[in-house]
Amino acid sequence: MKALRAALLRFDDHGHTVYEADGALVLAPDAQGRQRVLDVGPATEVLHRHPQVVVTHLPGRLLAPGFVDMHVHYPQVDVIGSPASGLLPWLENYTFPQEARFADPAHAQAVAQVFLDELLRNGVTTALAFATSHPQSAQALFEAAQARRLRLITGKCLMDRHAPDGVRDETEQSLIDSEALIARWHGVDRLGYAITPRFAPSCSDAQMQGAGELAARHPDVWIQSHVAENRDEIAWVRQLYPQARSYLDVYRHFGLLRNRAVYAHCIHFDQADRELMRSSGAAAAVSPTSNLFLGSGFFDFEAAERVGFLHGLASDVGGGTSFSPFETMKAAYFVGRMAVEQGGVHKPGLSLTPGQLWWQHTAGAARALGLEGVVGNLAPGCEGDVLVLNPQATPLLARRTQAANSPEELLFALIVLGDDRVVEKVFIA
């Protein structure tokens, strides 16, 4: 058993921030040897309850839950910053050629290490990640994450049409490979499998059907895909599925909307789409740096809140421009601020609070993934993925955070001025 003492950020069951200026966190190993949060709260009270515990005191530091990245592509580490006129040319000219390299297991293993290094340097301790269509790419990431005892979910991409040689897979084999990866990795240590139809245009009806059947046979396995990201993409889906009510409805048709189904982007939605998200229990992975970089559009945070469907933040590297949750939270704030004209109606921008932004990248993202109470918070019972943040990491941050008059001001300064330099130490379970 051990304790950390410093300022501390966590969340209550309603998603409200709980900030302790002088907090303590007691960690103890569970039956699997994973550290879990045993007790948390004001330091004087917590340490009084555990008089024997060895305490590491970290004055001037902030303890916070590890970040949760709901949508990221590990094979796109080397795609970041590749400009294009939009999603489809970006996929064709940069992304698919890079992903073809993952046929080579040695390449996959090397990039998996770089990817996990980047996640951890940035304080991301849980991720739902795309691999490529090559089963060996998912295998490589599972092995690398297992060695680091990380909570990580990935899956081999399903893409049997409208994709070039080298990344396109074969319908029947792709489903056999997915099933074998589920059997090998899902629920092993802290790892999980995600059935991964890349997006409706890249999957034949037979592959989508097979993915839906796989999802029905494995209800606790995740599903991940993309939806309603880009106007050209949506027009293409309308051509491919003229009978579907909407792009999202294609996934419903194939049984791919349910709890633990995570859809990246969800930008160009109408009211019926949002209600379908809510009633199905599917979650949106909101990726504002990607949406700004590729010019895809703006996620409607207000409508998501109003309708009440699950959503949280994600980097979407390599469409996204940064692994840093601080960059993602800042971009989410900017997107929220945007006023929009919708059907002739003026919708003023909103100001997401720092607490809301932070929650959507930690406990809120964990809830959206079906991992509430497991990761993303420092509540008793949570796995001990803990960040030690340094609010004085840069001269400007030191100046600005010293002048902060409230926890909200401190968190806002970190979101606006922070990056990987703020993340001083990361504890994994």
Asked if 139 touches ligand GUN (CB under 6 A), the answer is no
Exposure letters 229-246 (e unless 16+ CB within 10 A, then b): bbeebbebbeebbeebeb
Classify burial at 197, counting beta carbons within 10 Å of its beta carbon; exposed 0-12, middle 13-18, buried 19 or more: buried
For the bound state, the minimum distance from the C-beta of residue 301 to ligand GUN, rounded and expressed in Å, comes to: 19
45 close to 358: Cβ distance less than 8 angstroms: no
Query: Residue 106, Cβ neighbours under 10 Å: how many?
Result: 9
Asked if 134 touches ligand GUN (CB under 6 A), the answer is no
- Only one residue has tokens 């599972």, namely 142
Asked if 290 touches ligand GUN (CB under 6 A), the answer is yes
Region for 41 from its dihedrals, namely left if φ exceeds 0, alpha if ψ lies in -120 to 50, beta otherwise: left
Pick one of 316, 327, 385, 419: the residue that binds ligand GUN (CB under 6 A): 316
Asked if 376 touches ligand GUN (CB under 6 A), the answer is no
Asked if 267 touches ligand GUN (CB under 6 A), the answer is no
Pick between residue 287 and residue 390 the one whose CB is nearest to Zn ion: 287
For the bound state, the minimum distance from the C-beta of residue 250 to ligand GUN, rounded and expressed in Å, comes to: 14
Asked if 356 touches ligand GUN (CB under 6 A), the answer is no
What are the C-alpha distances in Å from 164 to residues 86, 109, 233, 416? 18, 23, 17, 40
Q: Which region, judged by CB under 6 A, interacts with ligand GUN, from 16-24, 87-95, 163-171, 367-375?
A: 87-95
Pick between residue 229 and residue 383 the one whose CB is nearest to ligand GUN: 229
Pick between residue 178 and residue 377 the one whose CB is nearest to ligand GUN: 178
Pick between residue 35 and residue 321 the one whose CB is nearest to ligand GUN: 321
Alpha-carbon gap, residue 142 to 253, rounded angstroms: 30
Pick one of 34, 151, 162, 198: the residue that binds ligand GUN (CB under 6 A): 198
Q: How far apart are the first and last CA of the chain?
A: 13
For the bound state, the minimum distance from the C-beta of residue 276 to ligand GUN, rounded and expressed in Å, comes to: 20
For the bound state, the minimum distance from the C-beta of residue 243 to Zn ion, rounded and expressed in Å, comes to: 26
Give the residue among 250, 312, 309, 249 at the shortest CA–CA distance from 279.
Answer: 309
Name the residue whose CB lies closest to ligand GUN. Answer: 319
Pick one of 61, 73, 274, 361: the residue that binds ligand GUN (CB under 6 A): 73
Asked if 74 touches ligand GUN (CB under 6 A), the answer is no
Give the residue among 356, 388, 367 at the shortest CA–CA distance from 27.
Answer: 388
Exposure letters 35-46 (e unless 16+ CB within 10 A, then b): bbbbbbbebeeb
Pick one of 25, 37, 62, 87: the residue that binds ligand GUN (CB under 6 A): 87
Pick one of 11, 74, 199, 247: the residue that binds ligand GUN (CB under 6 A): 199
User: Segment 317-346, which members bind ligand GUN (CB under 6 A)?
Assistant: 319
Pick between residue 314 and residue 414 the one whose CB is nearest to Zn ion: 314
Query: Residue 307, Cβ neighbours under 10 Å: how many?
Result: 17
The H-assigned helical ranges of 122-227 are 135-147, 171-185, 205-217
Give the residue among 229, 193, 228, 227 at the shortest CA–CA distance from 211.
Answer: 193
For the bound state, the minimum distance from the C-beta of residue 114 to Zn ion, rounded and expressed in Å, comes to: 18
Query: Residue 351, Cβ neighbours under 10 Å: how many?
Result: 9
Asked if 95 touches ligand GUN (CB under 6 A), the answer is yes
Pick between residue 247 and residue 358 the one whose CB is nearest to ligand GUN: 247
Asked if 91 touches ligand GUN (CB under 6 A), the answer is yes
Total binding residues toward ligand GUN, as defined by CB under 6 A: 11
* Residues in contact with ligand GUN by the rule CB under 6 A: 73, 87, 91, 95, 198-199, 226, 229, 290, 316, 319
